[in-house]
Chain A
Amino acid sequence: MAAVTLHIARTHLLSRKRQTAVSLLGIVLGVGFFLGVASLMVGSEKDFIHRLVDNAPHITVKDEYRTARTQAAVLLHPDAAVQVRHVKPKEERRGIRNYKEKLERVAGLPGVRAAPVLSGAVTLSYAGRDLGATVSGVVPEQMRGVSIIETLMTYGTLDSLSTNADGIIIGEALADKFNLQPGNSISVTAPNGAVRLMKVVGLFKSGNKGYDESQTFALLKKVQALLNQQNVANRFIFKLDDPYQASAVAREVEARTGYLSESWQEASADIMGTLAVRNTIMYSVVSAILIVAAFGIYNIISTIVMEKTRDIAIMKSMGFHASDIKQIFLIQGLLLGVIGSAFGSALGAGIIYGMSQVMIKTPFASDPAPLPVDWGWQQFALACAFAMLASVFAAYLPARKAGNVQPVAILRGAA
Chain B
Amino acid sequence: MSAADNILLRTEKLTRRLPGTVVTTLVEDIDVAIARREFVAITGPSGSGKSSLLYLLSLLDKPTTGRIILDGQDLTDVPEDDLADIRLRKLGFVFQFHFLLPEFTALENVMLPMRKLGKLAPAAQERRAAELLDSLGLADHRHKRPDQVSGGQRQRVAIARALANDPLLILADEPTGNLDSKSSANVREIFGHMVHELGKTIICVTHEQIFAEASDRQIHLVDGHVVRL
Q: Which A residue sits closest to B104, measured CB to CB?
A: A11
We find that the number of chain A residues with CB closer than 8 angstroms to chain B is 29
Q: Map CB proximity to A onto B49-86 as digits: 1 under 8 Å, 0 otherwise.
A: 00100010010110000000000000000001100111
**Residue contact B103 to A411, C-beta cutoff 8 Å:** no
Query: Given that A319-B84, A408-B60 are known contacts, is A1 also in contact with B99, CB under 8 Å in the complex?
Result: no
Query: Given that A11-B103, A316-B84, A415-B173 are known contacts, is A408 also in contact with B61, CB under 8 Å in the complex?
Result: yes
**Residue contact B113 to A1, C-beta cutoff 8 Å:** no
Query: Given that A317-B58, A318-B87 are known contacts, is A415 also in contact with B99, CB under 8 Å in the complex?
Result: no
**Residue contact B61 to A415, C-beta cutoff 8 Å:** no
Residues of chain A with a CB closer than 8 A to B115's CB: 3-4, 7
Q: Which of B28-36, B90-98, B191-199 lies at the interface? A: B90-98
Expressed in whole angstroms, the Cα–Cα distance for A11 and B102 within the complex equals 10
Residues 106-131 of B contacting A (Cβ, < 8 Å): 112-113, 115-118
Q: Which B residue sits closest to A14, measured CB to CB?
A: B103
User: Does A106 make an interface contact (CB < 8 A)?
Assistant: no
Query: Given that A4-B112, A4-B116, A415-B95 are known contacts, is A317 also in contact with B60, CB under 8 Å in the complex?
Result: yes
Query: Given that A15-B103, A411-B95 are known contacts, is A318 also in contact with B113, CB under 8 Å in the complex?
Result: yes
**Residue contact A319 to B60, C-beta cutoff 8 Å:** no
**Residue contact B103 to A12, C-beta cutoff 8 Å:** yes
User: Does B174 make an interface contact (CB < 8 A)?
Assistant: yes
Q: Chain B interface: which size bin?
A: 20 to 34
Query: Given that A11-B104, A317-B60 are known contacts, is A310 also in contact with B116, CB under 8 Å in the complex?
Result: no
Secondary structure dominating the interface of A = helix
Expressed in whole angstroms, the Cα–Cα distance for A375 and B112 within the complex equals 46
Q: Which A residue sits closest to B100, measured CB to CB?
A: A314
Closest Cβ of chain A: how far from B86's Cβ, in Å?
A: 8
Residues of chain B with a CB closer than 8 A to A385's CB: none
Query: Given that A319-B84, A322-B80 are known contacts, is A415 also in contact with B51, CB under 8 Å in the complex?
Result: yes
Residues of chain B with a CB closer than 8 A to A54's CB: none
Picked from A11, A319, A408, the residue with its CB within 8 Å of the CB of B87 is A319
Expressed in whole angstroms, the Cα–Cα distance for A11 and B109 within the complex equals 13
Expressed in whole angstroms, the Cα–Cα distance for A324 and B87 within the complex equals 15
Expressed in whole angstroms, the Cα–Cα distance for A54 and B60 within the complex equals 73
**Residue contact B60 to A1, C-beta cutoff 8 Å:** no
**Residue contact B88 to A319, C-beta cutoff 8 Å:** yes
Picked from B81, B93, B101, B102, the residue with its CB within 8 Å of the CB of A317 is B93
**Residue contact B116 to A414, C-beta cutoff 8 Å:** no
Query: Given that A319-B116, A320-B116, A408-B60 are known contacts, is A414 also in contact with B97, CB under 8 Å in the complex?
Result: yes
User: Does B89 make an interface contact (CB < 8 A)?
Assistant: yes
User: Does A129 make an interface contact (CB < 8 A)?
Assistant: no
**Residue contact B174 to A415, C-beta cutoff 8 Å:** yes
**Residue contact B55 to A321, C-beta cutoff 8 Å:** no
Pull 20 A–B residue pairs with CB atoms less than 8 Å apart, ordered by A. Answer: A3-B115, A4-B112, A4-B115, A311-B99, A314-B95, A316-B60, A318-B88, A319-B85, A319-B116, A321-B80, A322-B80, A322-B81, A324-B116, A408-B60, A408-B61, A411-B55, A411-B95, A412-B55, A415-B95, A415-B174
Which A residues form the contact surface with B (CB < 8 A)?
1, 3-4, 7-8, 11-12, 14-15, 310-311, 313-324, 407-408, 411-412, 414-415
Which B residues form the contact surface with A (CB < 8 A)?
51, 55, 58, 60-61, 80-81, 84-89, 93, 95-97, 99, 101-104, 112-113, 115-118, 161, 173-174
